[in-house]
Amino acid sequence: MSDATSRPNLPPLRLHVPEPPARPGEEANFDHVTVPPAGEARRPAADAAPADFRDLAYGLVRVLDDDGRAVGPWDPRLSPDRLRTMLRHMALTRAFDERMFRAQRQGKTSFYMKCTGEEAIAVAQAHALAPDDMCFPSYRQQGLLIARGCPLVDMMNQIYSNSGDKLMGRQLPIMYSEKRFGFFSISGNLATQVPQAVGWAMASAIKGDTRIAAAWCGEGSTAEGDFHSACTFSAVYQAPVILNVVNNQWAISSFSGFAGGEATTFAARAVGHGIAGLRVDGNDALAVYAATEWAAERARTNQGPTLIEFFTYRAEAHSTSDDPSGYRSANEGAAWPLGDPIARLKQHLITTGEWDEERHAAMDRDCAEEVKAAQKQAETNGILGHGMHQPFDTMFEGVFENTPAHLLEQARQMRDEREAAGI
């Protein structure tokens, strides 16, 4: 067996271990992030071949400039009313997050995940997609439900796992499932929703339907085999699907370099699979809308799938079980060069004369009151730890259409034991 001494003229091999730009106690450093001017990226025709615009997988589609103006070919030219509605949905999502985060800290639920800094992605995409398009989300797309009109009380019931929880306490808090709003059940297993979305889109094409599918995952999930299987199937069968990669720079405790972000962009995954790819400013609601609208047109006109990397930043902890101060610089969020998505859309509306600080403050108050009222109503159905909210018998239901004999026997035994114990 050879070793380093048998080849003294060669340097020893070294293993590369990615390192984030800054660790705790160091100054945040985003020198490696190139932010091109807004409006610079070209906008190809929706039926262009993916090979004709590979450059868009390495640049950054942006619409809003530093002064809040919408510029360039990707400007979706939305009405002021639509923009104000999007702004409200983003603000409502943030208010919902804040109150549910506090509820978890008060012991009313076991777990919560905020999407602070990423609101533009789910909300703008919900507005760009058709209401009956099917969404296969990850766990930071609560803005999809809010923008599609899901009652906040229903979402809170699920978070509290109370008597009003339609999922009967069987899902981890925030792992919603809403057939009414085209929102597929969230799974804690990373990237499983991506091939599911591709399969649903293939079925839609087989049936000759007009609905498309969209999936969301984090940049870390692109390292999972499920993601690449989904890309292969979508490319081979030209599935009418949008594959959204939310690159928020961090997984629960490891930065994007461990998923391949040092070597290239995540949108470049599209180039290797031969599908359309875009890299988009995820904190620019207009760019998010425009890219989604363009990808949806491709899907609906049988041009195949599109992979979109939304370049953004997770402003807060991964979840209520996480402490980011243990792995990233304390001032990173403030140093993030693409700003805050709500502040940027607000500034755009003010710049165009369609908004002002007074109306914005009033909107924030209204959102806070709406969320507070919904919480009060949801808590009448119970909160975590205040009694058993679902009948015991339900643990044997919901899996089989006709309950098999062995489960019926277990249910009978359970009832007998509880009766004998006086429960």
pLDDT digit string (tens) for 370-402? 999 999 999 999 999 887 788 888 888 888 999
Residues in a beta bridge with 279: 309
Say how many C-beta atoms besides its own lie within 10 A of residue 234's C-beta.
31
Report residue 339: phi and psi, to 5°.
Answer: 70, -165
Over range 225-252, report the average pLDDT. 97
**SS3 call for 64:** strand
Nearest Cα neighbor of 128 from 114, 110, 147, 111 is 147
Residue 110 has pLDDT above 90, yes or no: yes
C-alpha dihedral over 211, 294, 177, 366, to 10 degrees?
A: -130
The count of C-alpha atoms lying within 13 angstroms of the C-alpha of 350, restricted to the half-sphere facing its C-beta, is 14
Residue 13's Cβ-count burial label (10 Å; 0-12, 13-18, 19+) is: exposed
pLDDT of residue 6: 77
Q: Which of 9-23, 279-293, 360-374 has the lowest mean pLDDT?
A: 9-23
Q: Are 222 and 185 in contact (CB under 8 A)?
A: no
Tokens of 251: 């997984």
Residue 3 has pLDDT above 70, yes or no: no
Compute CA distances 405 → 38, 379, 398, whole Å: 64, 37, 15
Would you place residue 1 in the very low, low, confident or very high pLDDT band (cuts 50, 70, 90)?
A: low
What is the residue-averaged pLDDT of the chain? 96
Q: Are 258 and 220 in contact (CB under 8 A)?
A: yes
Would you place residue 248 in the very low, low, confident or very high pLDDT band (cuts 50, 70, 90)?
A: very high
Residue 136 has pLDDT above 80, yes or no: yes
CA–CA separation, 109 and 303 (whole Å): 44
Residue 352 has pLDDT above 60, yes or no: yes
Over range 92-108, report the average pLDDT. 98
Q: Greater confidence, 68 or 393? A: 68
pLDDT of residue 397: 87
Say how many C-beta atoms besides its own lie within 10 A of residue 292's C-beta.
26
The fraction of the chain above a pLDDT of 90, given in percent, is: 92
Q: Are 411 and 393 in contact (CB under 8 A)?
A: yes
pLDDT of residue 385: 82
Say how many C-beta atoms besides its own lie within 10 A of residue 333's C-beta.
17
CA 50 to chain centre: 24
CA–CA separation, 47 and 45 (whole Å): 5
Q: Are 57 and 274 in contact (CB under 8 A)?
A: no
Residue 4 has pLDDT above 90, yes or no: no
Residue 5 has pLDDT above 80, yes or no: no
Reading phi first (left if > 0) and then psi (alpha if -120 to 50, else beta), residue 191 is in left
Q: What CATH number labels 44-319+333-381?
A: 3.40.50.970
Over range 185-208, report the average pLDDT. 97
pLDDT of residue 391: 85
Nearest Cα neighbor of 140 from 318, 342, 402, 390 is 318
Over range 117-146, report the average pLDDT. 98
Over range 294-320, report the average pLDDT. 98
Over range 269-288, report the average pLDDT. 98
> How are beta strands 213-218 and 134-136 bridged, if at all?
parallel
340-363 burial: b if 16+ Cβ within 10 Å, else e: bbbebbbbbbeeeeebeeeebeeb
Residue 82 has pLDDT above 70, yes or no: yes
Q: Are 215 and 239 in contact (CB under 8 A)?
A: no
